[in-house]
């Protein structure tokens, strides 16, 4: 994961500081430059109201430029407060749009960012976070999106969790998790949740289905090896570990070899997202997951499952939308 440019959208509220407060952590580990962005969500009806009242002001010529100038100054003040290295403070971007997500997605594509960092909560008046805007950015952004509700600290990133469902798209999150684990000196866990479908419609407890964890582990490990064999640009390999369900992920690049230990965790649940949320909140410091699953409508990693995990996970999470090329 090569992180050179980071975009942090913010609504300039105190609640939205988590991403800004975490910027230095990524600057220190990746030596990246951070751009800040604010979208003024003015409705077109504001201009209509001014016209009807006969106020001798032009929205385009008088009001908008002043608003943009003021917000850019506020972004600069936020950056000065939270980003220590002046040379790593990038652009201060202010736009006006009825749909904040559209402006942000446009800037992500135009700016060719490597990571987008967003606080999970904004001001009480803002519909920007944990709502339709954030969902659209996560679903449509080709750039990985990190959402967090608290400031991240390097010493607290000790275990990174990757939920997988055997699909190539879910496995594509592992290389990114590997790079972050290596940067932070963290361990890696791959979580596979087996959904049980024997629940009675009248509320009777679900019947336990026998699952051979060793067989599931073997299948996932074999699938992971095939994945790295198919997508050779990743240049990863798997080596056997010492403990049960433990292995080593090895990466070769420019003649240099690096490795990270990882463990496979297999759980059973009636609903995958409940198990992912509970396990991650109790055991992980960061979750890296794909927004695509087994078929594009996977119960495990797309649609309601991913949305539920994003909405209820208390830990920082990076979501990616991989474009796999053989």
165-185 as b/e: b if 16+ CB within 10 A: bbbbbbbbbbbbbbbbbbbbe
Confidence at residue 131, expressed as pLDDT on a 0 to 100 scale: 52
Q: Do β-strands 256-269 and 246-253 pair in parallel, antiparallel, or remain unpaired?
A: antiparallel
Q: Which of 81, 67, 73 is nearest to 16 (CA)?
A: 81
For 124-152, write each residue's pLDDT tens digit.
444 444 456 777 788 889 999 999 888 88
* Encoded tokens for 194: 């087996």
Q: Taking the domains of the chain in order of start, what are their residue ranges?
A: 5-148, 154-320
Q: What is the pTM of this model?
A: 0.83
Confidence at residue 56, expressed as pLDDT on a 0 to 100 scale: 52
Confidence at residue 268, expressed as pLDDT on a 0 to 100 scale: 86
For 57-104, write each residue's pLDDT tens digit.
445 555 677 788 888 999 999 899 889 999 999 999 998 888 888 999
- CATH topology for the 5-148 domain: Rossmann fold (3.40.50)
Confidence at residue 11, expressed as pLDDT on a 0 to 100 scale: 83
- CATH topology for the 154-320 domain: Rossmann fold (3.40.50)
- Is-contact 129 9, C-beta < 8 A? no
Q: Which of 108, 150, 110 is nearest to 15 (CA)?
A: 150
Confidence at residue 62, expressed as pLDDT on a 0 to 100 scale: 55
Q: Which residues contact 258 (CB under 8 A, 6 or more apart)?
A: 182, 250, 251
Confidence at residue 45, expressed as pLDDT on a 0 to 100 scale: 40
| Residue carrying structure tokens 């920082």 | 316
Give 73-102 as a DSSP string: HHHHHHHHHH---GGGEEEEEEEE-S-HHH
Confidence at residue 16, expressed as pLDDT on a 0 to 100 scale: 74
d(CA 223, CA 207): 28
Indicate the length of the chain as a whole number: 326
Confidence at residue 49, expressed as pLDDT on a 0 to 100 scale: 47
Same CATH fold, 154-320 and 5-148?
yes
Taking 50 as the pLDDT cut, the residues of the chain under it are: 44-45, 47-53, 57-58, 124-130, 198-207, 294-303
d(CA 92, CA 47): 25
Q: Which of 130, 135, 163 is nearest to 286 (CA)?
A: 163
Confidence at residue 204, expressed as pLDDT on a 0 to 100 scale: 43
d(CA 75, CA 38): 8
- Is-contact 23 8, C-beta < 8 A? yes
């Amino acid at each position: 994961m090569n992180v050179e440019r980071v975009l942090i959208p913010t609504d300039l509220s105190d609640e939205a500081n988590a991403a800004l407060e975490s910027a230095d952590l990524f600057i220190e580990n990746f030596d990246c430059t951070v751009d800040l962005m604010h979208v003024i969500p003015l409705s077109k009806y504001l201009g209509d109201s001014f016209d009807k009242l006969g106020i001798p002001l032009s929205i385009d010529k008088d009001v908008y430029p002043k608003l943009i100038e003021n917000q850019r100054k506020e972004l600069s003040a936020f950056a000065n407060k939270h980003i220590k290295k002046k040379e790593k403070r990038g652009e201060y971007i202010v736009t006006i749009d009825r749909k904040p997500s559209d402006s942000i997605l446009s800037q992500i594509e135009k700016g060719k960012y490597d990571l987008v960092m967003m606080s999970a909560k904004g001001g009480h008046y803002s519909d920007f976070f944990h709502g339709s805007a954030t969902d659209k950015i996560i679903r449509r952004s080709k750039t990985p999106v990190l959402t967090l509700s608290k400031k991240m600290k390097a010493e607290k990133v000790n275990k990174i969790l990757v939920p997988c469902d055997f699909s190539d798209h879910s496995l594509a999150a592992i290389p990114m998790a590997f790079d972050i684990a290596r940067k932070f000196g963290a361990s890696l866990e791959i979580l596979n949740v087996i959904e049980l479908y024997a629940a009675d419609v009248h509320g009777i407890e679900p019947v336990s289905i026998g699952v051979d964890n060793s067989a599931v582990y073997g299948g996932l490990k074999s699938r992971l090896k095939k994945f790295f064999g198919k997508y050779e640009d990743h240049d990863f390999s798997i080596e056997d570990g010492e403990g049960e369900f433990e292995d080593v992920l090895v990466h070769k690049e420019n003649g240099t070899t690096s490795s990270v230990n990882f463990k496979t965790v297999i759980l059973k649940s009636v609903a995958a997202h409940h198990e992912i949320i509970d396990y991650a909140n109790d055991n992980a410091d960061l979750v890296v997951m794909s927004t695509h699953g087994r078929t594009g409508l996977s119960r495990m990693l797309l649609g309601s499952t991913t949305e539920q995990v994003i909405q209820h996970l208390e830990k920082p999470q990076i979501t990616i939308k991989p474009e796999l090329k053989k």
